[in-house]
Structure 1
Amino acid sequence: MANKIKTKVLSFSQGHHKLVFFCLDASHIWNNFAINRRVEDKDEGYQRTLSPSRVKKIAKYVSGGNTLPLSILVSLEKGKYRLENDFILLNNEPDIGWIIDGQHRVAGAHESKAKVILPVIAFLELNPEEQIRQFVTINKEAKGVPTSLYYDLLKHLPIGTPSERAKERAVDIADTLKQDEESSFFGRIVSITSPQKGELSLATFTKKIAPLVFENRGFLASYSMNEQVKIIDNYYKALKNTFPKYYKDDDSVFFKTTGFGALIRVLTTVFSYCLKIKKGFTVAEIGDILNEVNHFNFDNWKKIGTGNAAEIQAADDLRTELEESLSTESDESRIRL
């Protein structure tokens, strides 16, 4: 194997970025650039998992003599290439750069075993933050790129608006919960693959939790990150203890989009009653509150449908039960004058 791959190059600039254009055999791109299939819970890289079906379709397409004229977008790492007059010399070794866009075309062309020359546009020496920004910008409207991945990437980018900061905090909470073996959410929040039974997508978790931690607005905003994590985790642990039948169900409504959304809507009510009556929010104290409605039939939530209206209805049903059961005890807890 030669130490360098030499090919004609054209240099140009766009905005603040320096780029080059060259052509390269698909197999060289496959062998020398990282496709970087992102693995769940690995905080490195940023590409979504390759779809085997898409790769096979492209391989079949190429094997049929069809063309792939669109360019592959990559980022070249510093020290892995050299510009020399009208040529670029690429190190003939793995991971000389990252594929930002076009990974399925590269994989499909490589799998076809045909000799396919692909056009390549390369950013020169983008830092990881800029690589992520380019990936998000280019793929945001692409079919098959999960919303959860964008939320997962937010923590790697400079966050500006209050809304973005709230989403970033929600992602951090999710990361903490899904990695804690003692948490009710351990291994249950996914950002790349589609959620299976008993799992939540990071997109769903973020969408429901971000409003709670929105600065100067969310009811959990005044609490620290650790306290926010504990409040959400304690809540779900108490739900597990109070409603074991529904929690342990393989297709638990507690981890479905509508059910999770409804329970988070009711969290404010449970939190308020707990502080008012119990003066704390431990798992045991939450359990005392939830025990007032331990007869509640969550099976009805599976029949209520999906969407925002169904979520609101489910939350209202549980909240009403709580309020009716706790109204007397709440009145008795008021200060005597």
Structure 2
Amino acid sequence: MARLAKVTGKQSRRLATALQVKAISFVQNDVQLCAFAMDASVLWSFVSINRMIEDKEQGYQRTLSGSRVKAVADYIEAGHPITTSILISLPKATYSAKTEKLSIPAGKDVGWVIDGQHRLAGAHLAAEHGSDIPLSVVAVLGQEVDFEIEQFITVNREAKGVPTAIVYELLKHLPSRKKPSDVAAEISAELGSALRKDPDSVFSNRIVVTTSPGPGQVSLTNFVRKVSPLVHPERGLLNIYTFEEQKAILENYFRALKIVFPGEWSKAKTIFFQTVGFGALFNVFDYVFKETLQRSKASFAVEDVVKIFKPIAHFEFASWNSYGSGSKAEIEAGNDLRVDLQRSLTAGADKARIRLA
């Protein structure tokens, strides 16, 4: 397991015998590149990695993360392909257009990894376990370390990750690889999409997918974060209900909030659709849901939820703005609301008992 620890510092390797490989060569703005396939075990055996050394102005690659390496290896060993290429630099390699072969000379540090060290390390680990796959490689020829650093910065600074919301939307296309958490995320994303697309829903124009949320909006990512635990197929509070029932439950919950707290709801920057408020409302959802079902003979209609919130119609949501952000703030705000609800519902029950006495 030592190989899975974080690895720091420069990692030099040596190619004992000159190597030739079939390749395609092309030129981009006077820079020669070659594309080829090579088994992970072979590529790993001779390319070096110029990692940063702590407190020294040396190297440019990040520390190698053992957990990421193992994740890649597990992915490969499960039978999945690595479709993205490894970018390397071969400063002294040459290409023959006549033979269509790339020649890599023997020696130390004849190749350097610019991008893809975790994919390469993971493929190497999988190879040690018997799954040695060929990797797609793009090599830059005849360049020195300054060029490598420039390319490393460009790849890692300019590359934009796919928005998480879009990932959730795409999970539905991977039925054979779903974990329970993936299923929960997919259901949550579908619920969010169905609610935001319904012009009669209180969530209409409230949930955004591809843009940043504006005032009175939440991202689909945030919606999925809070709804996923409720619809988790193994332990979710709402997992026994159909999709349409889950949709109606969420709709009724927020529709009741709109009725009981019209002042807060009507604000352009209502706390209900800010991260802390949205999170707090879902942190108290389990309590509201169970209390409503118990007091309304298993009904969660809008009027049933209204009865739960009505006794605290004057609740001051403004205090939530001082809690900051993050899960701790959501928990604190949710606890405030839960305590007021518990106090009001307990007081109501006591009055009922007095009247019956």
- 1:199 corresponds in structure 2 to 217
Aligned to 2:199: 181
Contact 2:180/2:234 (<8 A) preserved? no
For 2:275, the equivalent position in structure 1 comes to 257
Match of 2:287 among 262, 269, 275: 269
Alignment-derived partner of residue 297 in structure 1: 316
1:312 paired to 2:334: no
Q: Secondary structure at the match of 2:323?
A: coil
Give the CA deviation at 1:160. 1.6
CA RMSD of superposed structures (Å): 3.0
Aligned with residue 344 of structure 2, among 325, 330, 335: 325
Shift of 1:286: 0.7
Amino acid at match of 1:177: L
Q: Give how far 1:23 is off.
A: 7.1
- Counterpart residue type for residue 180 of structure 2: P
Name the stretch that deviates more: 271-280 or 193-202: 271-280
Deviations 1:120-147 (A, max 9, x none): x9xxxxxxxxxxxxxxxx99x9435322
Output the CA distance in 1 between the equivalents of 2:25 and 2:309: 64
1:243 to 246, 256, 261: 261
1:190/1:202 contact within 8 Å kept:
yes
Match of 1:69 in 2: none
1:146 partnered with 2:163: yes
Aligned CA distance change for structure 1 residues 330 and 154 (closer, same or farther; 3 Å): farther
Distance 2:241 2:288 in 1: 17
SS in 2 for 1:155: helix
In 2, Cα distance between equivalents of 1:330 and 1:168: 40
Relative to structure 1, the CA distance from residue 162 to residue 297 in structure 2 (aligned partners, 3 Å threshold; closer, same or farther) is: same
Out of 279, 301, 307, which is 1:282 matched to?
301
Q: For residues 310 and 164 of structure 2, what CA distance do their matches in structure 1 show? A: 36
Equivalent position of 2:103 in the other structure: none
| Equivalent-residue separation in structure 2 for 1:307 and 1:293 (angstroms) | 25
Call closer, same or farther: CA 1:165–1:288 in 2, change over 3 Å: same
The 5-angstrom pairing of residues 166-177 of structure 1 reads: 166-177=184-195
Note the C-alpha offset of 1:304.
1.2
8 Å contact from structure 2 (residues 281, 334) kept in 1: yes
Runs of 4+ in 1 over 4 A off after TM superposition: 20-25, 330-333
Q: Distance in 2 between matches of 1:255 and 1:210?
A: 17
| CA distance in structure 2 between the aligned counterparts of 1:283 and 1:24, rounded to whole angstroms | 65
Cα distance in 2 for residues equivalent to 1:259 and 1:155: 29
Distance of aligned partners of 1:21 and 1:321 in 2 relative to their CA distance in 1, 3 Å threshold: farther
Which residue pairs with 2:150 in the alignment?
Answer: none
CA contact (8 A) 1:253 1:259 kept: yes
1:275 to 1:150, Cα distance in 2 relative to 1, 3 A: same
User: 1:203 Cα deviation (Å)?
Assistant: 0.6
Report the alpha carbon displacement of residue 24 of structure 1 after superposing the two structures with TM. Answer: 11
Letter of the structure 2 residue corresponding to residue 264 of structure 1: F
For the pair 1:157 / 2:197, whether they are aligned, the reply is no
The residue identity in structure 2 corresponding to 1:200 is V
Unaligned 5+ runs, structure 2: 1-22, 29-83, 85-137, 139-154
Task: Specify whether residues 231 and 143 from structure 1 end up closer, same or farther in structure 2 by C-alpha distance, changes over 3 A only.
Answer: same
* Paired residues, number: 208
Given that 1:276 and 1:330 are in contact with CA atoms closer than 8 Å, whether structure 2 keeps it comes out as no
**What SS does the corresponding residue of 2:284 show, helix, strand or coil?**
helix
Residues 24, 168 of structure 1: alpha-carbon distance in 2 compared, 3 angstrom cutoff: farther
Alignment pair present for 1:215 and 2:240:
no
Given residue 297 of structure 1, which amino acid in structure 2 is its aligned partner? E
Find the structure with the greater CA-based Rg. Answer: 2
Are the counterparts in 2 of residues 151 and 168 from structure 1 also a CA contact under 8 Å? yes
Q: Is the CA contact 1:247–1:254 (under 8 Å) kept in the aligned structure 2?
A: yes
Contact 1:216 1:222 in 2 (8 A): no
User: Letter of the aligned partner of 1:324 in structure 2?
Assistant: R
TM-score, length-scaled by structure 2: 0.53
Indicate how the Cα distance of structure 1 residues 313 and 177 shifts in structure 2: closer, same or farther if over 3 A, else same: same
With normalisation by structure 1, the TM-score equals 0.56
Post-superposition shift, 1:257? Answer: 1.1
Aligned to 2:10: none
* Partner AA of 1:299 in structure 2: A
Calculate percent identity across the aligned residue pairs: 41
